[in-house]
Structure formats: structure tokens, C-alpha cells
């Protein structure tokens, strides 16, 4: 099928382009990009895209799948559907499934299950019909798997990293803090020749203790156990020392404090081979939001204070924080209906992140559209040693079409994810993905 998107706002962080163009797409490839395209075939579908945004496909660095083990939270299919509905053309899932992704057999099983969902390259999935979602036809986003670093719950024994690398994992992480620094050092030494990304979540669990929100006046006022910022910053400092000594590139996950941004900026200025990401909710909300005791605001790491939020936003804009991760963490209704401190930490976000980030960062003028799109698309791909294609002739059509003005309500019938643990549940949002090409 050939499609002509007329007068669409093209946001391409690869080519640093933000402007109005006609874009011609055929057979999964971009055929032409120009201010005006008139030379088209009689079978071309013409679409008036005034007011819409066409960007490079979004890439999520890390999110959680319920399957295998917790299919009531999320299946691979519902995860991929939610990702597609949120504009993501690539998604990378963490290995903390049950069983964990710690052996080549499970990697092959999940990859085969993904292929079994079926996809037709180059076709678009239209999400304009919001009520209710039905099982999506192809395409679905590309699914990549993080391989586990450790085998056992105590985190003391390395997996067969070379075997997992050969099986096709995108990189290595546990998605949980590794406090055995001797093991971390060994991992960094072992991974050097494999050429795969490795991601760590630096967090000192002894300092975290039983805390559930960022230490400060709000934690005192709300009567919730605090987590000091030093639980993160001391762990980051130790990680940076190991990277400086060994030289293996490292991705630092879930950055949440202003001091962490300073440490990472200094390390990058010194030439250390590191990249970093924060999660989307840490850019939008601060500790004052916890006043509602909504368990979907129980996150790990916890929401920061106003200074943390400002530093994270500035860090993303400056490139100190390379990417915005979604860290989609589905839980069932029953799991989240508990006291704040007792509920498991995490919230969904694949279908919500782009509309809310656009509304509160781009429409307010704090971010340019290119700055936000880069942090959600080309930069996360680069953190994985990948690239996204420019919106240019002869390039693959891996694209996201977004309507910044379309309104919709976050409710069960409008979500593809099986879970609803989000503080925006029941609220009206502005901005919705119209279509993806993958």
C-alpha cells in the first residue's frame, strides 16, 4: 500500500528536522519527503495530516512483562499491543520474569512466542478507534530481551553471559540493585569482549531499608518511611569508580536525584563510557503528589523533590541523562489495593507517557519537540548500540504518527495493557497515537 501524508509535522532527531512536509510511504519504505508531493500513483491513499506529528519510532529501554509467570498482570501480546498504542516500535523487556530470562532456551522460547503473534512489515496499525480496544492485527513492535546477569535470588552467581549473548539478548541487566561490588567488577571484566550493553540500577538497599518515599519534609508530613537520596548517589559513585578502573561501558538506570545528575555529568566530562536514563514519571511528578496515597505513586526509586525534578529535566535536555525509559510495571488490581507502604512498587506507562510528556513538557515550552523525541527515540536506541532511521527517502518506515490534540479517557476500555495501576486512571488526557509503521 502507498500512502501520502500531507502537511504533517515531521520531527526527526536523527536529521535534526522539525517542520511541515509531505511524506510518501510505500512497501515499508519512505519514498519521498518534500514540502509538496504531487507525483503519485492513482492507487495512493492520500491523508490530510494537518495538526499531526510524524516522528521516528519510539524506543523503550526497559519495561516489565508479566509473561512468563504472571500473565494476569500482562501477557507478551498485551504488552506489545500497549507499546504499539503508545507509539513504540521497539521495546526491551527486563529479565525478572518467572522463570527469569537467564538461559538461551527461554530466550528462544520468548522470541518464538513473539514471532507467533505474527506481523506484516510496513503495514500500519490505526488506534483512532479507542472504545473498546480489540486485539490488534500486525504489526507489533520489535521485541528485545535483556538477559539476566545473575542466576540466584541472592545475586551471587553469574549467568552464562556468553551463551545468552549468542542467543540474541539485547544486553545484560538484572533490573534490580546489585550490591556485591566484587561481582559487578567481575561482570564488567567478563563482558568487555562480548560487545553487549550492560545496565545497572545503583541503589544501596541497606540505606533504602524499609523506605517508600524520598526523604524530606513531605515524607514526615505524610508519615511514610523515608529513603535518603544517598541510597542512590553512593551506589552511583561506587559504580563510576568501577567503570573508571575497568573501562567497560555501562548504562545507569532509573536516575532520580539531582546529585546523581551532577555525578553523571562530571563522569561524562571526564570521559567515562557511561549513558544514563530516568523514567518518565520522575520527570512529571514530585513528592507532593504522594499526598493522595495512591499506590500507583509508590515507585522504586521514589519520586523526587522539586529540585530533583528540575535537575532531571535539565539533565535530559542537556544530554547528561541520555534517555527517558518507561519502566512499564503492571500489577493486578488486587496487588495494588493495599496500604501505600505495603503495595508493590511500580506503575504502567506505555500508553500514557508520550501524551503526558508532550502535554506537560512540550506544550508548556520547557522542552522542544526535538528534545523530547530524541530522548524517547534515537537516544535510547544509541544506549543499546542501535540506530533509528532518519525520515528520509529510501529509509525503512519505522514511524509514529501522533495527534497532540486528540482527547481520551484513561479507563479499562481504552487501555490495551491488562493492568490499570496508574495515578491517571479515570482522567481525561490530551494526545494520542494514531498509527505506527514498523
* Residues carrying an active site annotation: 327
Q: Which helix (H) or strand (E) holds 419?
A: none
DSSP string, 161-177: HHHHHHHT-SEE--SS-
Contact 400, 89 (CB under 8 A): yes
C-alpha span between 334 and 325 (Å, rounded): 26
Backbone Cα Rg of the chain? 21
| Whole-angstrom distance, CA of residue 299 vs CA of residue 295 | 9
Q: Which residues pair with 158 in a beta bridge?
A: 150
Handedness of CA 328, 61, 281, 287 (dihedral sign): positive
Q: Say if residue 301 is preceded by a cis peptide, omega within 30 of 0.
A: yes
Quote the DSSP letter at residue 149: S
Q: Are 11 and 55 in contact (CB under 8 A)?
A: yes
> Could you tell me the CA-to-CA distances from 298 to 63, 206, 275, 292 in Å, in that order?
16, 19, 26, 11
Read out DSSP for 187-238?
HHHHHGGG---BEE----HHHHTT--EESSHHHHHHT--EE-THHHHHHHHH
Cell numbers at residue 58, please?
Answer: 519510539
Terminal CA-CA length for the chain: 14
Q: CB–CB of 324/350 below 8 Å?
A: no
Residue recorded with cell 541472592: 154
DSSP 8-state code for residue 63:
E
Amino acid at each position: 500500500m502507498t500512502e501520502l501524508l500531507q502537511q504533517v509535522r515531521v520531527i526527526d532527531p536523527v536529521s535534526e528536522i522539525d517542520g511541515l512536509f509531505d511524506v510518501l510511504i510505500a512497501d515499508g519504505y519512505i519514498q519521498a519527503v518534500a514540502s509538496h508531493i504531487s507525483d503519485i500513483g492513482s492507487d495512493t491513499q492520500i491523508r490530510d495530516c494537518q495538526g499531526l506529528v510524524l516522528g521516528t519510532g519510539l524506543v523503550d529501554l526497559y519495561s516489565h512483562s508479566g509473561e512468563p509467570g504472571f500473565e494476569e498482570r500482562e501477557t507478551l501480546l498485551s504488552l506489545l499491543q500497549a507499546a504499539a498504542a503508545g507509539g513504540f516500535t521497539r521495546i526491551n523487556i527486563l529479565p525478572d520474569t518467572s522463570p527469569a530470562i537467564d538461559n538461551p532456551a527461554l530466550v528462544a522460547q520468548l522470541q518464538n512466542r513473539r514471532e507467533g503473534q505474527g506481523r506484516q512489515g510496513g503495514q500500519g496499525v490505526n488506534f483512532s478507534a479507542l472504545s473498546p480496544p480489540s486485539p490488534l492485527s500486525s504489526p507489533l513492535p520489535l521485541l528485545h530481551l535483556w538477559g539476566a546477569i545473575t542466576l540466584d535470588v541472592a545475586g551471587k552467581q553469574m549467568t552464562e553471559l556468553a551463551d545468552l549473548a549468542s542467543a540474541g539478548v539485547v544486553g545484560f541487566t538484572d533490573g534490580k540493585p546489585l550490591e556485591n561490588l566484587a561481582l559487578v567488577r567481575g561482570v564488567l571484566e567478563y563482558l568487555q569482549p562480548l560487545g553487549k550493553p550492560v545496565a545497572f540500577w545503583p541503589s544501596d538497599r541497606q540505606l533504602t531499608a524499609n523506605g517508600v518515599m524520598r526523604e524530606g519534609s513531605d515524607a514526615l508530613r505524610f508519615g511514610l518511611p523515608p529513603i535518603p537520596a544517598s541510597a542512590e548517589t553512593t551506589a552511583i559513585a561506587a559504580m563510576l569508580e568501577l567503570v573508571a578502573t575497568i573501562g567497560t561501558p555501562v548504562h545507569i538506570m532509573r536516575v532520580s536525584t539531582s546529585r546523581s545528575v551532577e555525578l553523571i555529568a562530571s563522569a561524562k566530562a571526564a570521559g567515562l563510557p557511561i549513558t544514563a536514563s530516568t523514567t518518565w514519571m520522575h520527570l512529571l511528578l514530585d513528592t507532593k503528589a504522594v499526598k493522595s496515597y495512591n499506590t500507583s505513586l509508590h515507585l522504586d526509586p521514589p519520586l523526587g523533590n522539586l529540585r530533583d525534578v528540575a535537575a532531571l529535566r535539565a539533565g535530559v535536555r542537556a544530554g547528561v541523562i541520555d534517555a527517558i525509559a518507561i519502566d512499564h510495571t503492571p500489577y493486578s488490581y488486587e496487588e495494588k489495593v493495599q496500604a501505600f507502604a505495603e503495595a508493590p512498587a511500580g506503575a504502567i506507562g506505555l500508553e500514557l507517557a508520550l501524551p503526558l510528556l508532550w502535554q506537560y513538557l512540550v506544550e508548556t515550552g520547557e522542552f522542544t519537540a526535538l528534545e523530547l523525541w530524541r530522548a524517547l527515540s534515537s537516544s535510547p536506541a544509541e544506549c543499546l548500540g542501535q540506530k533509528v532511521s532518519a525520515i528520509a527517502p529510501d529509509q525503512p518506515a519505522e514511524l509514529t504518527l501522533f495527534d497532540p490534540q486528540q482527547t481520551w479517557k484513561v479507563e479499562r476500555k481504552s487501555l490495551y495493557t491488562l493492568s490499570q495501576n496508574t495515578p491517571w486512571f479515570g482522567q481525561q488526557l490530551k494526545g494520542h497515537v494514531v498509527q505506527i509503521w514498523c
